[in-house]
Structure 1
């Protein structure tokens, strides 16, 4: 017996994003699909939000909340309340507004972000 889906299927890859936002030491690749936005952030060694994205955002701390899966590399996060921690591959994070972050080590950090990508590093 063959079954057919009555819903529209979307299948996309980051090799053909709807938008690419380049910034110093990295880029955000954005897909618009299924009524939402998903982003892949590729952050190179030397990237730090407060140096590379803050001038674009114009805020003291990153005000984009994130819900991310960490594919590779190590990211150090500093919350505005002083809490700090490292995040590595295989970890899922839910970060509220008010943070800084930077790449630790010599490997690229790659993140898939289901929540904070819509306006991330978007020039207005």
Structure 2
């Protein structure tokens, strides 16, 4: 049995959004974890859509919220607001935006291909 450890404070990669934040990414033995910092004013359709090139986010997110708030609107119109301590599964096909004047920080296991620019 092997045991491995890395620290998110020294990520393998930082993926900047167009504006309003970034995603720190660590990959360890085939497992990818991201810490997204979504600053006030961040909105997927403005800050990540130009990177993704899709009409809505097509990534399945699984993770939890450390701080701040984010509202997610699915393509079918349903909305969910994520708050500190919430554990979430967000299916592909959504827009999202930061709520309020505090950055939303989310830890997400569904980020291997998220916000990757060519």
Q: TM-score, normalised by structure 1?
A: 0.91
The 1-side partners of 2:30 and 2:59 are apart by 19
Where do 1:15-94 residues align within 5 Å?
15-23=9-17, 24-94=19-89
Unpaired runs of 5+ residues, structure 2, are none
Report the alpha carbon displacement of residue 97 of structure 1 after superposing the two structures with TM. 0.4
Following TM superposition, the consecutive aligned residue runs of length 4 or more in structure 1 with deviations greater than 4 angstroms are none
**Match for 1:120 among 100, 114, 117?**
114
- Max radius of gyration: which structure? 1
Report the alpha carbon displacement of residue 101 of structure 1 after superposing the two structures with TM. 0.3
Q: TM-score, normalised by structure 2?
A: 0.96
Q: How many residues are matched?
A: 117
Unpaired runs of 5+ residues, structure 1, are 1-6
